[in-house]
Amino acid sequence: MIEQRAVTTKPETQQPLLSVRDLKVAFPSEAGRVDAVRGVSFDLHRGKTLGIVGESGSGKSVTSMAVMGLLPDYASVTGSVTLGGDNLLDLDDRQMSKVRGRRIGMIFQDPLSSLTPIFSIGAQIVEALQIHQDISTAAAWKRAVELLDLVGIPNPDRRAKGFPHEFSGGMRQRAVIAMAIANDPDLIIADEPTTALDVTVQAQILDVLKTAQRETGAAVVMITHDLGVVAGSADDVMVMYAGRAVERAGVDELFARPRMPYTIGLMGAIPRLDDRARGALIPVPGTPPLLVDLPDACPFAARCPVVQDACLQGEPPLVALAGSDTGDEHAAACLRAAEIDGGAIGGTPIYPVPAVRESGVAAVPREDRPKVLELSGVTKTFPLTRGGLLKRKVGTVFAVNGIDLDIHEGETLGLVGESGCGKTTTLLEIMGLQPPEQGSIAVCGQDTANLRRRQDISAVRRNIQMVFQDPMGALDPRMTVFDILAEPLRAIGERDRRTLDTKVGDLMELVGLDPEHRDRFPSAFSGGQRQRIGIARALATKPQLLVLDEPVSALDVSVQAGVINLLNDLKAELGLSYLFVAHDLSVVRHISDRVAVMYLGRIVEIGATDSVFDDPRHPYTRALLSAIPLPDPVAERTRDRVLLKGDLPSPTDDRPGCRFVSRCPLHLTLSDPQKEQCRGVTPPLTARGGSDHRDACHFADTTTSTSVDN
């Protein structure tokens, strides 16, 4: 009887911890009043986690800043934010400072800049403690060390005296979490807490956040653009678009039965790590609206494939939907929400699946196709020096240490690994077209050691072009699109204005841009369009190989899908080869034919994509794959995780032995003579069972149960 009552007590009957009602935030701007948040309401109960998902500019961060009272004075904020009975919007800065840090803790996106560089980590935590508690400095230091220990910083009493620049990104984010939970807050707001971090570190930080939540019993607002992170950590999810919540539901309900076309679009646009079919991704067309003078209509109407006239007759409110069988509330701001079922209306999918272009090259077996890039034993070192005027060499960083890889025509090789593993150095070595320190690089059959004359180098350069990560930084803001695209053509000797004109027009059409826009400047284009310009520029010289350095990581999910599809189409149409560097393994799985995993300057596993992803052999690859959150709450909950401890060590020595030993979960389970072998003998890349799939681990085949203990 008593038990049953406990079960039937719904959370709604309790007083919510945080209650936001009709929150509106507007900023003045030169273009007019920007309505960044336009009426957001939600309740959050103690111990629960609310995930707020949305693309950049959807108002999710502004919402959290409004709750914290950290918006600039010129922002106009209306509505109500009630935390335990007080309306936070009525409090001034002084009163609000009693709430911040004590009742609400906050974790920010970029751990590199969110700590004051000139104070030690310990001092900053002590400050957080002493603002709200009347404790002695000695006691506060003791507590700070305990907090650092809790968030998993090794040697906390020594590390507390360290300054932020002595900490890695992941360690700094742990320190920020320690600061946020220092005063046992009721609410923790995490604004993209893992976006700036590597996947393996992301998994650690999400784990620490869960620990922190367990220790404090706090409610968490988790703001992110990554549906995988939400699936693994949230109880309820709110999807934001153009400053409003467009869909809200429990996490299982939302992922199982999304009812708003935007949510469906977001889910269709992300490549899945567990997706083997590799159909085209489904991009959401268009871009989010500017939040200035929005008409009274559904803000998603312009991008929605199932838009009706009624959608333009007034903005649909967020209304609860009937018929959700889990009992949780499910609300969507869509007139057609009731018709939508399983991403389709009346059996027809809302988003038409684009056709995949088949590559003619793929018909020829890989071995028979010519190699466009071949690296053998490439090594790049940097000297470590000390002293000002007279520098002494005190060590060597082996950024790239004996790499072998090859790319055949019409093939995509994905190069993955944590930051600092040598991916970018490898790319720079290739793009430099210089003979490497050791080993050799051959581009389209030409060994770079034989490239002496300027003409030879530029002839090879034509065949290998690069696309950069940041589409903003990679385009000169003072050149028109025409100039940007004509520059490589002029560089290879094209002078005729009319020929340039047609070629630039063709290039723009090839990447899906309107040739009419050739006289515009890069600032007139959205992020996705700018990346298309970058791709068009790389294609101008008709290269055989494109080197892509994180080409989609700066783009929003819905835009990213379009660029990935474009890359796949171009490959099929032009028979291109790609060297694709990315930290997002889902994207790599989607786009690559083969994948190489790097760790501390070495390749630890290489092979056909499906083979590596389905049957990872090296313990590092396993850990990397298991760290990626899946956008599927059920799979997230049931999955075993290999959590790597610590950060990437610095590659300063070249002693024999496996470099992964310090973090290897498999190593711990081995017998002593086997451990000795790991430490003493460098494992070579070996093929097992005669396939093309090779790994650099002595004991990869000895056991497969590495995922249990962490």
Partner 1 sequence: MLRYIARKAVGWFLMIVVATNLTYFLANAFLKPASNYTALRPPRTPAEINHSLALYNLNPDKPIIDRWWHWISGIVTHFDWGQSPTGGSVNDQVAYRIFVSGQLVLASTILAIVIGVGLGVYTASRQYKAADRVWQGLSVLSFNTPSAVASLAVVLVAIALNQSLGSTLLPVAGAQSPDVAGFWAVLGSRATHAILPTISLTFISYAGYHLLQRSLLLDNINSDYVRTARSKGLTRKQAIYRHGLRTSIIPVATQVAFAMPALFTGAVITETVFAWHGMGEYFTKTISTNDVHGVVAVAAFGALMTAIGAILADLVIVALDPRIRVS
Q: Which is nearer to partner 1, 365 or 387 (CB)?
A: 387
Nearer to partner 1, 93 or 293 (CB): 93
Which amino acid is located at 208 in the chain? V
User: Binding of partner 1 at residue 371 (CB under 8 A)?
Assistant: no
Does 76 bind partner 1 (CB under 8 A)? Our answer is no
Structure tokens given for 527:
């992020």
Stretch that binds partner 1, among 128-136, 209-217, 485-493, 650-658 (CB under 8 A): 128-136
What is the smallest separation between the CB atom of 109 and partner 1, expressed in angstroms?
A: 8
Cβ closest to partner 1, residue 96 vs residue 256? 96
445, 371 in Cβ contact below 8 A? yes
For residue 490, the tally of other CB atoms under 10 A from its CB is 12
Q: Which residue in 117, 346, 477, 656 binds partner 1 (CB under 8 A)?
A: 117
* CB 211 to partner 1: min, Å: 20
Q: Does residue 106 interact with partner 1 by CB under 8 A?
A: yes
**Residue 470, φ and ψ in degrees, nearest 5:** -95, 105
Rg (Cα) of the chain, in Å, rounded? 27
Choices 173-181, 279-287, 573-581, 586-594 (CB under 8 A): range interacting with partner 1: 173-181
Please give the angle made by the CA atoms of 524, 526 and 529, to the nearest 5 degrees. 100
For residue 452, what are the contacts with CB-CB under 8 A and spacing of at least 6? none
132 lines the binding site for partner 1 (CB under 8 A): yes
Which among 572, 528, 571, 570 is positioned nearest to 551, based on CA atoms? Answer: 528
Which range touches partner 1 (CB under 8 A), out of 79-87, 108-116, 444-452, 514-522?
108-116
Cβ closer to partner 1: 128 or 209? 128
For residue 565, CA distances in Å to 143, 275, 364 come to: 52, 15, 23
**How many C-beta atoms lie closer than 10 Å to residue 408's C-beta?**
21
Q: Does 165 bind partner 1 (CB under 8 A)?
A: yes
81 or 106, CB closer to partner 1? 106
Task: Please tell me whether residue 593 adopts helix, strand or coil conformation.
Answer: coil
94 part of the interface to partner 1, by CB under 8 A: yes
Number of residues that bind partner 1 (CB under 8 A): 35
Residue 57 Cβ, how far from partner 1 at the closest point, in Å? Answer: 19
Say if CB 310 and CB 324 are below 8 A apart.
no
Shortest distance, position 394 Cβ to partner 1, whole Å: 15
Token pair, residue 198, equals 């590597």
β 236-241/49-53 pair status: parallel
Q: Which of residues 514-533 bind partner 1 (CB under 8 A)?
A: none
Q: How far is the CB of 120 from partner 1 (least distance, A)?
A: 7
CB of 177 to partner 1, least distance (A): 12
The one-letter amino acid code at 253 reads E
CB atoms within 10 A of CB 632: 21
Q: How far apart are CA 52 and CA 605, in angstroms?
A: 36
What's the half-sphere exposure (Cβ side, CA atoms, 13 Å) at 639? 21
Minimal distance, residue 189 CB to partner 1, in Å: 9
Residues 663, 622: Cα–Cα separation, whole Å: 13
Instruction: Give, as one character, the DSSP assignment of residue 413.
Output: E
- Minimum separation from the CB atom of position 127 to partner 1 (A): 7
Tell me how far, at minimum, the Cβ of 48 lies from partner 1, in Å. 21
62 binds partner 1 (CB under 8 A): no
Q: E-strand spans in 542-691?
A: 545-549, 577-581, 594-599, 602-608, 686-687
The answer to whether 700 contacts partner 1 (rule: CB under 8 A) is: no
Identity at 137, one-letter amino acid code: T
What is the spatial distance between Cα 481 and Cα 485, in angstroms, rounded to a whole number? 6
The H or E element spanning position 231 is: helix 227-233
Q: Is 121 in the site for partner 1 (CB under 8 A)?
A: no
DSSP H helical ranges for 310-452: 423-432
Tell me whether residue 117 or residue 689 sits nearer to partner 1 (CB atom): 117
CB nearer to partner 1: give 105 or 651. Answer: 105
Binding of partner 1 by 105 (CB under 8 A): yes
Would you say 63 and 26 are in contact if contact means Cβ atoms under 8 Å apart? no
Q: Which of 19, 49, 63, 120 binds partner 1 (CB under 8 A)?
A: 120
Report the residue from 11, 41, 80, 127 that binds partner 1 according to the rule CB under 8 A.
Answer: 127
Does the footprint of partner 1 cover residue 394 (CB under 8 A)? no
The window from 124-132, 392-400, 402-410, 562-570 that contacts partner 1 (CB under 8 A) reads 124-132
CB-count burial class (<10 Å; 0-12, 13-18, 19+) for 363 = exposed
248 and 331 in contact (C-beta within 8 Å)? Answer: yes
Residue from 60, 100, 174, 590 in contact with partner 1 (CB under 8 A): 100
Tokens of 428: 């720079």
| E strand or H helix that includes residue 166 | none
Least distance from partner 1 to the Cβ atom of residue 158, Å: 16
Minimum Å gap between C-beta 110 and partner 1 is 6
Question: For residues 97 and 652, which CB has a smaller minimum distance to partner 1 in the complex?
Answer: 97
Segment contacting partner 1 by CB under 8 A, of 125-133, 234-242, 402-410, 568-576: 125-133
Residue 553 one-letter amino acid: S
User: In angstroms, rounded to a whole number, what is the distance separating the alpha carbons of residues 225 and 241?
Assistant: 12
- Tell me if 565 sits within 8 A of 281, measured CB to CB: yes
Judged by CB under 8 A, which of 36, 37, 40, 115 binds partner 1? 115
Task: For residue 27, state whether it binds partner 1 (rule: CB under 8 A).
Answer: no
Shortest CB 202 distance to partner 1, Å: 19
Q: Exactly one of 39, 79, 119, 553 binds partner 1 (CB under 8 A); which one? A: 119
Residue for token pair 């646009």: 269
Residue 703 within binding range of partner 1, rule CB under 8 A: no
Q: Can you tell me which of 75, 89, 91, 131 binds partner 1, judged by CB under 8 A?
A: 131
Q: Check binding of 108 to partner 1 (CB under 8 A).
A: yes
Q: Taking CB under 8 A as the rule, does residue 97 contact partner 1?
A: yes
| 490 vs 485: CA distance, rounded Å | 9
Beta bridge mates, 438:
379
Task: Say whether residue 113 binds partner 1 (CB under 8 A).
Answer: yes
Contact string 179-218 vs partner 1 (x = CB under 8 A):
xx-xx-----------------------------------
Give 101 or 316: the residue with its C-beta nearer to partner 1. Answer: 101
In this complex, which beta carbon is closest to partner 1, that of residue 131 or of residue 384?
Answer: 131
Whichever of 63 and 544 has its CB closer to partner 1, that residue is 63
CA distance 320 to 314: 18
Q: How far does the chain reach from its first CA to its final CA, in angstroms?
A: 40
Question: Closest by alpha carbon to 430, among 466, 468, 471, 474?
Answer: 466
Q: Determine contact, residues 517/524, Cβ cutoff 8 Å.
A: yes
Sheet holding 545-549, edge to edge: 464-467, 545-549, 577-581, 412-416, 594-599, 602-608, 694-695, 686-687
Q: Which stretch binds partner 1 (CB under 8 A): 55-63, 109-117, 324-332, 589-597?
A: 109-117
Q: How far is the CB of 182 from partner 1 (least distance, A)?
A: 8
Shortest approach of partner 1 to residue 106 CB, angstroms?
Answer: 4
Judged by CB under 8 A, the stretch of 121-129, 392-400, 513-521, 638-646 that binds partner 1 is: 121-129
Half-sphere exposure of 423 (CA within 13 A, CB side): 22
> What is the binding site for partner 1 (CB under 8 A)?
68, 70, 93-94, 97-102, 104-106, 108, 110, 113-120, 124, 127-128, 131-132, 163, 165, 176, 179-180, 182-183
